[in-house]
């Protein structure tokens, strides 16, 4: 029995070493975003949902070692070159993996959620006022039908734009009409809020403003 357990552990270690994508460590505890995002939702969202996207992405790429070595941005930028048998999986699970890595980084405990003068100036310049920016972002998040994401993106020409995408698509994917690197992201899948908010997505979206990691937003704006 012990020997079997040892072999199993070694196999798991070997698998995790060969798998390129790993669940990132969270910078805060499951309860750190309370009361805006509850710890049960955080636990399930991170371990079960993000965990599954990560595993499924690694499984899809396992038979294409040359794709495994490429940065995920490169896969997204050339979706037409991904083999047909794994294209949907890379789109859904690769998107799910990447989007959630970013999402966790864009959240922070409310006590640390402070907008810097730089971010404030950039948003005011682009949208006229913070209220207008927030209203447009909230609209994108609440009107996305079904599952998806709301984004603030920076386009190649440096302009900021608010868009939403379906499912796990993002604006780095060559299949997406809106193109640009994400600066802010909000997961509006039901799994992100339903335990606490049930059908009140708008309330979840409003509370998002209390736990944005604006330092990360600034870093992405300057990228
Ligand atoms: Fe999610």
Please identify which residue in the block is written with the tokens 């339903």: 194
| Cα separation, 208 vs 136, whole angstroms | 14
Kindly give the distance from the C-alpha atom of residue 187 to the centroid of ligand 1, in angstroms, as a whole number: 6
Strand-pair partners of 166: 148
Pick from 193, 175, 183, 167: nearest CA to 218: 183
- Distances from the Cα of 132 to the Cαs of 30, 77, 102, 126, in angstroms? 31, 31, 24, 10
- Site of tokens 């060559």: 174
Mean pLDDT of 195-203: 97
d(CA 83, CA 103): 28
Per the CB < 8 A criterion, the answer to whether 188 and 201 are in contact is yes
- pTM for the whole thing? 0.91
Q: How confident is the model at residue 7 (pLDDT cuts 50, 70, 90)?
A: low
Between the CA of 117 and the centroid of ligand 1 the distance, in Å, is 30
What pLDDT score does 13 carry?
Answer: 46
Q: Which domains does the chain have, with CATH numbers?
A: 110-221 (3.55.40.20)
Average pLDDT over residues 153-179: 96
Distance 19 CA to ligand 1 centre (A): 21
Distance CA 108, CA 223 (A): 20
* Dist. CA 6 → ligand 1 center (Å): 34
- In the reported structure, the alpha carbon of residue 125 is separated from the centroid of ligand 1 by a whole-number distance in angstroms of 30
């Amino acid at each position: 029995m012990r020997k079997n357990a040892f072999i199993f552990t070694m196999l798991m270690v070997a698998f995790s070493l060969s798998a390129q994508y790993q669940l990132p460590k969270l910078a805060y505890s499951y309860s750190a975003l309370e009361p805006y995002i509850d710890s049960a939702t955080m636990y399930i969202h991170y371990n079960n949902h993000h965990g599954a996207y990560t595993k499924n992405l690694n499984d899809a790429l396992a038979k294409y070692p040359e794709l495994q070595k490429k940065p995920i941005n490169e896969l997204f930028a050339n979706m037409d070159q991904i083999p047909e048998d794994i294209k949907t999986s890379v789109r859904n699970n690769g998107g799910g993996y990447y989007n959630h890595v970013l999402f966790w980084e864009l959240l922070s405990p409310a006590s640390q959620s402070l907008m810097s003068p730089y971010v404030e100036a950039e948003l005011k310049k682009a949208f006229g006022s913070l209220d207008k920016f927030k209203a447009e972002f909230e609209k994108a998040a609440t009107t996305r039908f079904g599952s998806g994401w709301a984004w603030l993106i920076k386009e190649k020409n440096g302009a900021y734009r608010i868009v939403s995408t379906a499912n796990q698509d993002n604006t780095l994917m060559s299949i997406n009409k809106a193109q640009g690197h994400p600066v802010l992201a909000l997961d509006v899948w039901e799994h992100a809020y339903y335990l606490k908010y049930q059908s009140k997505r708008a309330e979840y979206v409003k509370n998002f403003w209390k736990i944005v990691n604006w330092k990360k937003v600034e870093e992405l704006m300057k990228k």
